[in-house]
Structure 1
């Protein structure tokens, strides 16, 4: 899942570009890329387009932040998704710089693009429709890459703004869910539940569907709009200690974990839930054993070996992929520098020999700056050697990208297999009371204390 935010830059574009390219945030700039510009001199190249188009005033650039859910995506995939998003929404018309920040709990992309198109010199127009298009495109790309997306159907009428508030725990519906959950735990009957809701200062309206309204809230909220667990029928079942929408589902061994009934608060508070959890655990362990048997895993030591081998394979592939990405990044910089060097060299060498030198330099100041930066880079890389052809570099880059895509596809599949195997091992250890299991250690500690 990725949350997107867009805002215009009307001043200090240089500081914004400098901030997003911070080496401490971008793995020493490994996770910085540019389109139709070189990130280090993007400000000059943005301004050059504006100068040519005679559109220097107003909004200087647009700044998009694409933030991913913690632990859902790796650095390289996040960067790749950001580039794809920028390419789809800008359609090759605007220069942009993208930087992936990895210094915080959640990985996020910063994309800054020029407000003026270098192709037709038209300005980018931001509107609610353009933002919805960005958000929709981001969701599509996330889904294509196997990431979760924000789904609204179960919570009818929830706006994207409300979803953001919901994530922060600030919306009316979030607070209502929390209050209902609290009152269910304290209630022994439906009438007691209604009395507690009234004490929490919620006005109750009866009809075809029960509705609640908090102090300061304009409209009533039907409980059924909060989700399947908050219909009147579900609330009554939860008060009685019955399971809601769980007993009919078969356990999914790939993602499910054995419930630690002894230390589960809900199981302590609800006998019905505790009974359901016991049955769930038995089904889950049976499914786990069947799966292991079908895959010729006869004991814990074999399972440990499989986990170790798969972990080693994943590590090797990640290292190879990282090496590939570095080489692809290096080739991209080479291609840009050689292209800029060859295009600006005739301009620099075209300085008049006698009169008008200063005027010429002033008129072509941007080209001189770009040439100097490109020359330093190519001299550092190639020295006095002949510069390679760009088509040869692109051919190598294409080959590496094909290999990198194959590696990441394998990594994604094998990571899922590894998670499944680890879940199975944990389930068996909890169910059998292994010494390595945290719940078993807690039980042993309590036994020692009693003795």
Structure 2
């Protein structure tokens, strides 16, 4: 399911086209939101030079047509948000790319940046209002938002995703449902569940355990709790049935038994499923040294037991029963990831080279006449100051051409090579993501086994030392 919105991007007062585009594209490609830039794809442009290439296309459009509009739209942005849990970031980026390609019919350059910093994965698609031939512009039309929704829905259906069925077109972008955040009361109930597993004999002992877990307790007519991040105390009576003081007193007196919150129990059961991800073992000694408290220490030990079980399941699924084989596989996965990373970097570098060369060729074609006049003037300083920008661009282009062996390539050939390299990069990107995940999984498993063996060695040494002291 994808909620979409089409936004016109205008030129801001006091800023150039390139500055305005950079502000928008920098936000869209924020590394913290796009997994260090991995979740950014593009069509007929380089994400690192997108604002320059868009601005260059607009300059060429003005040169070709002579048309200039006050308050013109410099680009368009499509925001495409997906239902939480229904899609992976890689699939979202691919669907965003396909949506943009169908919407622009391949006639406009664009970038697709997938953000994963929110509960819902969403795309920021920015496409140039000027087409690739630099002779026409995209014009927003009546009910274009509905047309965009239909394109997006069609792509989603073809990829097995659900679509929104709104009552009214205006409700469409407001019907996405996001998961609820865990409230402070939910966290309190969860901590009380953990404490009650220790079978405290009365309220005083329960409060002691809650303090060990980091809660501040205020006792008066009612018992109130305040945890990390809370601004105000919350009364236990507000936690609901089973967690109020009178309910807990009945449990301590033996009149009733403790029943954990069914919602929280459901979350714990889900966390115990075999398909949970393998996580790192925690350093219990470091936790004790930091003074986190017995409650946190107990939780860390339970976490380590669960993660060690997940690690053993992972090794069994991959038929890894020998430590040397595990170490060898971990090294091979790391080497494989390094190779693909280097290949990706080489492809990206070539894309930058092609884009830069295209830019120089276009600049040279526009400025060579001015440079010829500059030479005829005897390299006049006055002429240079009047045409500084054009002459500088021409010099830069000529310097770039001097580093090329053989005949200068044509723009058409560069465009073809750029598309071929781009397709290769997209193909390699899928391998890159898989290699990264494989390396992460097996390195995590090896780390956990190493930590487990280290703990066993420490326990054996401690037992030997204890036996020696008893003998003496």
Q: Normalized against structure 2, the TM-score is what?
A: 0.50
What displacement does 1:419 show? 1.2
What displacement does 1:394 show? 4.6
Out of 298, 310, 334, the position equivalent to 1:284 is 310
Matched, 1:250 2:250: no
- Checking the alignment, whether the CA contact within 8 Å between 1:31 and 1:100 is kept in structure 2 is no
Out of 236, 254, 268, the position equivalent to 2:262 is 236
Matched, 1:174 2:199: no
Change (3 A) 1:267 1:9: farther
- Report what 1:225 is aligned to: none
- Report what 1:114 is aligned to: 129
Deviations 1:102-148 (A, max 9, x none): 9x9x999783632899665552248654675798799899x99xxxx
* Structure of higher CA gyration radius: 2
Determine the C-alpha separation between the residues in 1 that align with 2:148 and 2:449: 48
SS in 2 for 1:8: strand
Determine the C-alpha separation between the residues in 1 that align with 2:443 and 2:126: 37
Out of 440, 445, 448, the position equivalent to 1:427 is 448
Matched, 1:32 2:48: yes
Deviations 1:414-451 (A, max 9, x none): 222211211211332344454899xx9xx9xxx9xxxx
Out of 114, 119, 123, the position equivalent to 2:139 is 123
Determine the C-alpha separation between the residues in 2 that align with 1:78 and 1:110: 11
Change (3 A) 1:278 1:4: same
- Checking the alignment, whether the CA contact within 8 Å between 1:8 and 1:60 is kept in structure 2 is yes
Out of 15, 20, 24, the position equivalent to 1:16 is 20
Out of 330, 345, 354, the position equivalent to 1:307 is 330
Determine the C-alpha separation between the residues in 2 that align with 1:40 and 1:58: 13
SS in 1 for 2:409: coil
Change (3 A) 1:242 1:398: closer
Q: Name stretches of at least 5 consecutive residues in structure 1 with no aligned partner.
A: 153-157, 168-172, 207-232, 352-367
- Report what 1:379 is aligned to: 398
Q: CA RMSD in A?
A: 6.6
What displacement does 1:62 show? 3.2
What displacement does 1:55 show? 4.3
Out of 44, 65, 68, the position equivalent to 2:59 is 44
Change (3 A) 1:424 1:314: same
What displacement does 1:257 show? 3.0
Matched, 1:408 2:433: no
Change (3 A) 1:31 1:89: same
SS in 2 for 1:174: coil
- Report what 1:328 is aligned to: 351
What displacement does 1:389 show? 3.4
Determine the C-alpha separation between the residues in 2 that align with 1:162 and 1:267: 45
Give the number of aligned pairs.
356
